Amino acid sequence: MSSILTNNGAMVALQTLKGINKSLTDVQSKISTGKAIGSAKDNSAVWAISKVMESDVKGFKAISDSLSLGESTVAVARQASETITDLLNQMKGKIVAAQEDNVDRGKINDDVTALRNQINSVVSAAQFNGLNLVDGNTASASVLASLDRDNSGNVTASSITVTGQNLSTGGYTAIAGFTAANTDGVAADGQDRFGFSLDANGGTDDNGQIEFDTLANAGYSAGDSVNLRIGDFDVSYSITQADVDATSTEDVIAVGVKAAIESSGANVSVDYDAANPGRLVITNEDTTDGIAISGQFNNANAGGLGALSAINVSNDVGAQAALGSIETLIDTAITASAAFGSVEGRIATQADFISNLTDSLKSGIGAMVDADMEEASARLQALQVQQQLGTQALSIANQAPQSILSLFR
């Protein structure tokens, strides 16, 4: 039955053409935006996942910037501590040279002072964006390292902690820990340091005394330390609060130092003189060579290199005493360099990981939402042909009622 009111062929052709045009619009959108899923209506689940991942990518970009800033800050501190180590090694060479009697100790001491001033300059300049990790004013700093998302969607931040290293020389005050009554060349140079030599075992001067002063005279505090240099061996003893609280602090310190010397490996014997509180008698056990012994008190309130302030090689006692502290100072700087180097390596590794992780996330997001451009191109051409055929079919269907007129001629 033919009807001029209802054209079924045209309606079918029209719906087909609408479907083709809709598909063509979708394909053109994919080509123009590059995304197969550009909004939540395209695929709400995949779109939601991609947006969460895109948020994480932006967060990791901020973390990457934080790691770069942290790495630069630590690199400055590491370079400073390595420079200080080199300067201390130069100072050690001057101190060793000052052990000779036929040298101009005054000029050598001027060189030592210049090196000390240079160390102070390095410490002061070792800051990045206002943060100085070597001047003793920063206990620690945190570098944002990651954002951790659990399976419930909760996000927590994790950080890499950088511990500050105190390489300053300020705040030093001498501790009068050694008494003036010592013999065998032990001089009371401010009573905070000493230096003397012992003959080979059996010589006329093969033993010497070290005597620690009372708490009332010395003013010990917890954290103060005694650093000794016995031949080629370094000995250190840290004073505790229990030592300070003891009835006879000098006795407790003497016993502690005695134990430290005996465990150091130095070729000497140590006797505690019970008749004289706080006194140790050190005997050289080497049968062929003499031995140099020096000591230095370090103030707990001083900077990590506070003992530098007390180094003075303008005289024999000062030169020998300097040997007792320079090795400890070098070890302090080396330890700081190693600590900074370790954490700098951790930050660099984390930065590489974050960079690779960000690339992986971007690839994952692309796999979910990016359009397949080859497929879209082929689909576009096919739909354009279908659109032309659909238009032609609709045109033919619209002309069908014209044939009814022939029935009325």
DSSP assignment of 160-188 equals EEEE------TT------B-TT--TT---
The enclosing domain of 244 has a CATH number of 3.30.70
> Environment class of residue 293 by beta-carbon count within 10 Å: exposed (0-12), middle (13-18) or buried (19+)?
buried
Residues 294 and 228 in one domain: yes
Residues 261 and 353 in one domain: no
Specify the pLDDT at position 356: 93
Residue 16 forms part of a structural domain: no
**Is the model more confident about 130 or about 42?**
130
Output the average pLDDT for the chain. Answer: 84
Check: CB of residue 325 under 8 Å from CB of residue 227: yes
Residues 112 and 205 in one domain: no
Residue 274 forms part of a structural domain: yes
Residue 22 forms part of a structural domain: no
Specify the pLDDT at position 134: 93
Specify the pLDDT at position 110: 93
Specify the pLDDT at position 84: 96
On the question of pLDDT at 75 being above 50, the answer is: yes
Residues 81 and 137 in one domain: yes
Number of CB atoms found within 10 A of residue 164's CB: 21
Beta strand 291-298 pairing with 193-198: antiparallel
On the question of pLDDT at 92 being above 50, the answer is: yes
Specify the pLDDT at position 189: 43
d(CA 409, CA 102): 142
Confidence of residue 20 (pLDDT cuts 50, 70, 90): confident
Residues 165 and 58 in one domain: yes
Q: What 8-state DSSP symbol labels residue 35?
A: B
Number of CB atoms found within 10 A of residue 408's CB: 5
Specify the pLDDT at position 1: 63
Helix (H, G, I), strand (E, B) or coil at 359: helix
Specify the pLDDT at position 169: 81
Residue 187 forms part of a structural domain: no
Residues 130 and 162 in one domain: yes
Residues 165 and 199 in one domain: no
Structurally, the chain folds into a number of domains equal to: 2
Confidence of residue 187 (pLDDT cuts 50, 70, 90): very low
Confidence of residue 161 (pLDDT cuts 50, 70, 90): very high
Q: For residue range 207-244, list pLDDT tens digits in order.
A: 888 888 888 888 888 878 888 888 888 888 888 889 98
Specify the pLDDT at position 132: 94
Residues 76 and 153 in one domain: yes
Residues 154 and 243 in one domain: no
> Environment class of residue 74 by beta-carbon count within 10 Å: exposed (0-12), middle (13-18) or buried (19+)?
buried
Residue 185 forms part of a structural domain: no
The enclosing domain of 117 has a CATH number of 1.20.1330.10
Number of CB atoms found within 10 A of residue 106's CB: 11
Check: CB of residue 371 under 8 Å from CB of residue 31: yes
Residue 125 forms part of a structural domain: yes
Instruction: From 221, 356, 396, select the one nearest 300 (Cα to Cα).
Output: 221
Residue 351 forms part of a structural domain: yes
Q: For residue range 191-201, list pLDDT tens digits in order.
A: 677 778 888 87
Specify the pLDDT at position 183: 42
Residues 292 and 210 in one domain: yes
Is the overall model pTM greater than 0.75, yes or no?
A: no
Give the CA angle between residues 274, 227, 174 to the nearest 5°: 95
Residue 69 forms part of a structural domain: yes
Specify the pLDDT at position 185: 41
Residues 208 and 160 in one domain: no
> Environment class of residue 359 by beta-carbon count within 10 Å: exposed (0-12), middle (13-18) or buried (19+)?
exposed
Residues 216 and 294 in one domain: yes
Last residue of a domain, one of 301, 316, 349: 301
Check: CB of residue 304 under 8 Å from CB of residue 166: yes
Confidence of residue 205 (pLDDT cuts 50, 70, 90): confident
d(CA 281, CA 269): 8
Domain that holds residue 219: 193-301
